[in-house]
Amino acid sequence: MNRNCGPGIAVLQSAQLTRLVTNCIVENGRGGITVEKDCRVELRGNGIYENSGHGVRFSGTGQIAENDVVGNCGYGIQVSASTDIKVVRNRVQPAQGCGIALLGPVKGVVHDNILFQGHPENKKPLLHMDAGNESCVLRNNSILRPNNR
């Protein structure tokens, strides 16, 4: 899924579990992967690189696990309005936005991810959760920044 004008992959309707495993999604005109509300999706082992929008924009239920999400212009992983999400063991390095952003009411768990500082002038937090969101658990995520000497 390379160099499309829109998103690399868009899951718009999916009542049954849809698995996207070991894909390379690179340099698309919008985001890398978009998952809409009411979709059940597992993203595992994908390489999502240098897309013009977010690496992953996820509004459904399921898992985002063991992906490399690097150099995307928007957020690395944006989760919004999800009712059951697991974001685990991803490696994320955004170019300009947050590494992982949990927007609005998100119910789930975000753990064991490694977030790397992207562009040195990017001042957005690598891990962001909207205030008042008490239904999402953050644990054991690593935030790595280069040493400035």
39-49 pLDDT, tens digit per residue, is 999 999 999 99
CB atoms within 10 A of CB 17: 12
The whole-number pLDDT of residue 83 equals 77
Query: What does the pLDDT read at residue 148?
Result: 52
Percent of the chain at pLDDT exceeding 70? 97
Say how many CA atoms lie within 13 Å of 51 toward its Cβ: 32
pLDDT digits (tens, 9 = 90+) for 110-121: 999 999 988 788
More confident residue, 29 or 101: 101
> Model's pTM, two decimal places?
0.94
- Give the pLDDT score at 20: 97
Q: Is the pLDDT of residue 133 over 90?
A: no
